[in-house]
Every structure is written in structure tokens, then in C-alpha cells.
Amino acid sequence: MRPRLLQAGPLALYAQIVMTQFIAPQAAPRETPCSRALAAGKVPSFQDIILTLSDYWARQGCVILQPYDTEVGAGTLHPATTLRALGPKPWRAAYVQPSRRPKDGRYGENPNRLGHYYQYQVILKPNPPNLQELYLNSLYEIGIDPTLHDIRFVEDDWENPTVGAWGLGWEIWCDGMEVSQFTYFQQVGGLDCKPVSGELTYGLERLAMYVQGVENVYDLDFNGLGVSYGDVFLENERQQSTFNFEESDPAMLKRWFEDAERMCTHLRDKRLPLPAFDWALKCSHLFNLLDARGVVSPTERQSFIARVRDQAKGCAVLWAETQTPAQEEAV
């Protein structure tokens, strides 16, 4: 919803007054996969939710990106968020990002935990003043009516030391379940974010489980035509868990880590932050695989994390340098 501007009275003299009151749209602004499902008396499918979120955020001026093609542990690490949060240029993007957390794999036996899952990620830079209202409207569009459910903004300070990033915001609870994270980025790579980006992360499986009312992630209706989440991903979870916990080759992973780290350093030396960042992400994922395999001693762990952090932060700093107006002119 657009901020309501108040023109009357003495206020017009000063500024625009943003109203934060939530008002449910009288009718869906346009037809979406979710609105079609809801109108037909069905629950939206997993992909309905994704498609509707993309439709919604496209209307807010976001570029709709596809997932980044390198393994990441969280949607935030997509360069469209981590790197684009730096520098002065405005930016709006939304995308689905598969997140790989090898250690969280449970061989497909746990109804809530996955080694591979989806996040829906939105970044708006600078954050518009009505970002909370935009977010609530997105929930409304996928079938969560904030006047029927208890939606709360619960304090959550976000921090990702591996990229030197932190921000303040909330976890968003819907009837006691955390369905999203909402963050105002303050720093990335140890550098101040100016302007500040607003970042939204929807936990898609959880959100869909909530919307569909299912207790087990593998029971999610994926497409509304009889394909379940389990049909798509259960076997993957089993095999990947076996790989993560039993079959990965620690010696090889360590070797690859060192190679990736070297490549990252080299690319940073050549002042190529974008490919360098890819290799920093590879370092991060290789470390996660080693960690899941249980072969990282506590002391080693600290040093691995520090090494990934140094590379990722270095990339962020380098990227920020290419984003300042002075640099652009020089180029």
C-alpha cells in the first residue's frame, strides 16, 4: 500500500505524513496465483506463494532475479544483497534462493529440518518509509489476513560475522511462528550502509506449511496438481545427508578450500570483487561441508571462520570502492 499523504491543514506545510495503519485492500489489486487459489476455495500451493511474492515485489519496482548459481548458506549472501547493500546507488531486487546448510540435513526424517531449503529474499535500497506496510500487504496477498492472525514484530538483531554485516529489525511472528526476518542493514564488510537497505527474508517452507496447515514439510502441496514437496525433495535430502555426513572426502574438501581461498585472494589482488566473492562463497560452503562431516576441531573451526571472513569482507570492501562516485569518474 502506498503511504497516504495528508494534504490538509497546517501539516501540508511541513512534510509528508506516512500513515502506518493497515487497511486490507478491498479487492486484490490484480489476479495472482494465490488469489486464484483462494478464490477457488483452495489453499495456495508452494509455487503459488513464490509466484505471488514475485508478482507482488515486481509491482514494487524490484528486479526479479533467479537464484544465485553458487551454493550459499543464506539468501543474504547472494551478491544482489550482500554487495548491492553497499554504495550509494538505489536498488530493489527479489529472488528465491536455495540455502544449503549441510549440518541441518536429517536424511529426510525430521518434519521441520532440511539441509536444503528455500528463502524468498527482498532488498529495497534505500528502504522506503512504508516497508512494514509493504511487507504486511505481501502476507495478505498470499492469504494471511493480519486481522485474523496475530502478527508481531519481535526484536531480532541480525549479524553475519563472516561478511562483517549487521543490522537491526525483527523476526515476524504469525500466531507464534516465525515466518520472516526483517532487517535494516547497518553495515556490510565493516562499512556503513549509506543509504540503508531494508531486507526481508521469508522462510518459504515454514510460511507455506502455515498457509497450507500441514505439519510435515514433505506434505506441502507443491503445485496444486498433486505433486508434494516430498516428491520433489525427499530423495534429495536423503542422498545429500548421506553425502554430507558420511561420504564427503574431508581431505579433498580441505584441498578445495585452500584452492578456493587462493583464487579469492588472487582475484582480489586483481581488483575483481565479483568473481572473488564467488570464491569466498565457495570457501564458506566447503567449510560448511567439513563442519557437517565432524572433522573440524574447535580451534580449527575458529581459524576457518576467520579465513572465510577475511576473504568475504575483503570482497565487500573492494566492491564498495567500485561503487563510490569518485571511482566511477576515474573509470
Partner 1 sequence: MPQFLLELFSEEIPARMQKRAAEDLKKLLMDALTKAGFLPGGMETFSAPRRLVAVVEGLPERTADVREERKGPKVDAPAQAIEGFLRGAGLTDIAQARVVSDSKKGDFYVADLVKPGRATPDALADIVPDIIRNFPWPKSMRWGEGTLRWVRPLHRILAVFDCEIVPFEVDGIASCNFSEGHRFHGTGLFEVKDFEDYEAKLSAAHVVLDRDQRKAQIKADAQTLCHARNLELIDDEGLLEEVCGLVDEPHVIMGDMDPSFLDLPPEVIRLTLRVNQKYFVVRDPKTGGLAPHFIIVSNVKATDGGKKIALGNARVLAARLNDARYFWDLDRKACLESRVPKLDTLVFHEKLGSVGDKVRRIVALAGEIAPLVGADVASAKHAALLAKADLTTEMVGEFPELQGVMGRYYQLQQGGSEASNKIIADAIRDHYKPVGPSDQVPSESVAMAVALADKLDTLTGFFAIGEKPTGSGDPYALRRAALGVIRIVRNLGKLLTLSSKLAFSTAQVTIALHNQTIQFKSAAVSIDEAKVPLLAQRALDYEEHLNSSVSVSASIGEIGVGRGLAHEEQQLVITIWVIYTEVRDFILERLRVSLRDEGFAPDVLEAAFAIPDDDIVRIVARVTALAKVLKTEDGANLVAGLKRGANILRAEEKKDGAAAQGDVTASRLAEPAERGLHDALLAAEAQMEQALAAEQFDAAMGALAGLRAPVDLFFENVLVNDADAAIRQNRLALLVKLRAVSERVADFSKLAGG
Which residues bind to partner 1, rule: CB under 8 A? Answer: 4, 6, 9-11, 13-15, 17-23, 111-112, 126-129, 132, 146-155, 157, 167-170, 174-177, 184, 186, 194-196, 198, 210, 213, 215, 297-299, 302
Q: Of the two residues 69 and 215, which places its CB atom closer to partner 1 in the complex?
A: 215
Nearer CB in complex with partner 1: 152/270: 152
Q: Enter the DSSP assignment of 142.
A: T
- What are 198's strand-pairing partners? 124, 184
CA distance 17 to 13: 11
Q: Which three cell numbers stand for residue 316?
A: 565487500
The Cα diameter of the chain in Å comes to 72
In DSSP notation, 273-311 reads HHHHHHHHHHHHHHHHHHHHTT---HHHHHHHHHHHHHH
Question: Which has the closest alpha carbon to 103: 276, 313, 258, 301?
Answer: 301
Nearest to partner 1 of 245, 256 (CB atom): 245
Which is closer to partner 1, CB of 148 or CB of 331? 148
- Count Cβ atoms below 10 Å from residue 172 Cβ, excluding itself: 23
In whole angstroms, how close is the CB of 41 to partner 1 at the nearest point? 17
- How many C-beta neighbours within 10 Å does residue 33 have? 21
Alpha carbons 116 and 19: distance in angstroms, whole number:
39
> Which residue, 69 or 155, is less far from partner 1 as judged by CB?
155
Considering the complex, what minimum distance in angstroms separates the CB of residue 198 from partner 1? 8
Minimum CB separation of residue 195 from partner 1 in Å reads 4
For the bound state, the minimum distance from the C-beta of residue 193 to partner 1, rounded and expressed in Å, comes to 8
Q: Which is nearer to partner 1, 25 or 129 (CB)?
A: 129
Quick one: 26 or 299, whose CB is closer to partner 1? 299
CB of 146 to partner 1, least distance (A): 5
Give the Cα separation of 100 and 253 in Å (integer). 16
CB of 66 to partner 1, least distance (A): 28
Residue closer to partner 1 by CB (options 22, 245) is 22
CB of 269 to partner 1, least distance (A): 31
**Residue number, 210 or 229, with CB nearest to partner 1:** 210
Pair type for strands 63-64 and 91-100: parallel
Strands 191-192 and 177-188: antiparallel
Q: How far apart are CA 257 and CA 271, in angstroms?
A: 21
Environment class of 280 (CB within 10 Å of its CB; exposed 0-12, middle 13-18, buried 19+): buried
Whole-angstrom distance, CA of residue 298 vs CA of residue 94:
37
Q: How far is the CB of 271 from partner 1 (least distance, A)?
A: 28
**Gap between the terminal Cα atoms of the chain:** 40
Contact 316, 86 (CB under 8 A): yes
For the CB of residue 143, give the shortest distance to partner 1 in the complex, in Å.
12
